[in-house]
Structure 1
Amino acid sequence: MSPVAILVLILAFYSSAQAVEYNDVNRTASQISFTYKQLGQRVYGTFSEFEGTLTFDTQKPEAGHALLKIQLASIDAGSPDANDELQRASWFDTATYPVGVYESTGVAALGDNRFKISGNLTIKGTTRPVDVDVVLKEQSGIGVFDGEFILKRGDFKIGEGEWAGNSVVSNDINIKFKMVAPQR
């Protein structure tokens, strides 16, 4: 359920006034979370360990680039039992695939500080294209990139075997993130 980008997803801002460049991601101020339904109940979780890089110039948003690497074992799905289960081969298989990666391939400005970031998300050795909607808010020389997308866990073989399908855990995982980057 790596967002990631989840992911991810961290990039873009367009300003017609003057060029502003953002780089690096402040890990401490940033957050990746997710929600899904389990037996009809909404469940909330987070990933606590990730790193991101960002290069972005507001005068050239199409040239921006973002890379997000998420330590999948850092998942907190609300209980130690759930966290342990999610490490297993039928879920994230963190022994074999410890990191989920989102890397951008393009940025499209949508207006009003909104962007669509296109990229590739890799989880469990499977790579799929993922578009992420992002809004940039500038706050005292800091760019806050808020975004979200729906991850289809079946596309990445997350929750195989008895966990496949939607009867217990929803296939749609809502990934949200807030990436904070300083202005340079």
Structure 2
Amino acid sequence: MIRLLAILSLLSSSFAYGAELSVVQFDQSTIAFVSRQMNVPVEGDFKKFSAQINIDPSRPEAGRARIEIDLASIDAGSAEANDEIKGKTWFNTREFPKASFVSSTVKALGGGSFEAAGKMTLKGKTMETRAPFTLKQEKGVLILDGTFPLKRLDYGIGSGVWSDTSVVADEVLVKFHFVLK
């Protein structure tokens, strides 16, 4: 779920500021997900994360980001679900308390769309990740929105009986929204 983190590498745009924006407004920013259990969407989010995002819209290719998510801050809709997901077969937050994404490149795709590439680390596994996003200027801030699929089994999330993808789908949709000043 946390490619999410990938998420962010965020950087770029065709706004003509020429100034780097890097102050994340955490009270307005979110990292969320949608998984499917028995083909029913299950939405959730993470209440605690840190993000260091630097963007100069006049030079998006120079942008960089580092996002860390406190996995124990998950809200999957109920206390029972939250406790289960923190356990060893899912996130194993005791041994792996954080997920991270560190960007390496940002590429313009045109029309205000971009793709951040970097390394996501989740449950002790690091993989290359790509996260498409849009960037827009609004009332003195930059808004970065993106969505990308994450294959949970690639990271060993949901082992044992939970590895059955007919019960819980392998693909988790990660959604992020960052507001920068």
Aligned to 2:45: 46
Equivalent runs, 1:25-36 vs 2, <5 Å: 25-36=24-35
CA distance in 1, matches of 2:17, 2:85: 46
Larger proportion of strand? 1
Structure 1 alignment gaps of length 5 or more: none
User: Residue 108 of structure 1 corresponds to which residue in structure 2?
Assistant: 107
Structure 2: 5+ residue runs without aligned partners? none
SS of corresponding position for 2:55 = strand
Corresponding residue of 2:10: 11
d(CA) in 2 for partners of 1:84, 1:18: 45
Contact 2:9 2:117 in 1 (8 A): no
1:36 counterpart SS class: strand
Conserved in 2, the CA contact under 8 Å of 1:10 and 1:179? no
| 3-state SS of 1:116 partner | strand
Instruction: Verify: 1:139 aligned to 2:138, yes or no.
Output: yes
Distance (whole Å) between structure 2 residues aligned to residue 151 and residue 166 of structure 1:
14
Moved over 6 A (4+): none
**Contact 1:22/1:57 (<8 A) preserved:** yes
| TM, length-normalised to structure 1 | 0.94
CA deviation vs aligned residue, 1:70-103 (integer Å, no higher than 9, x gap)? 0000111111111000011110000000000011
Matches within 5 A, 1:84-163: 84-163=83-162
- Give the Cα–Cα distance (whole angstroms) in 1 for the partners of residues 164 and 154 of structure 2: 11
More helix per residue:
2
| AA partner of residue 68 (structure 1) | I
Alpha-carbon distance in 2 for matches of 1:89, 1:152: 18
Deviates more, 1:69-78 or 1:54-63: 54-63
Q: TM-score, normalised by structure 2?
A: 0.96
- Length, aligned pairs only: 181
Q: How does 1:60-75 map to 2 (within 5 A)?
A: 60-75=59-74
Q: CA deviation at 1:179?
A: 0.7
Mapped partners of 1:175, 1:16: distance in 2: 26
Task: Give the superposed CA RMSD.
Answer: 1.2
Conserved 8 A contact 2:13-2:60: yes
Residue 167 of structure 2: aligned partner = 168
CA distance in 2, matches of 1:24, 1:53: 8
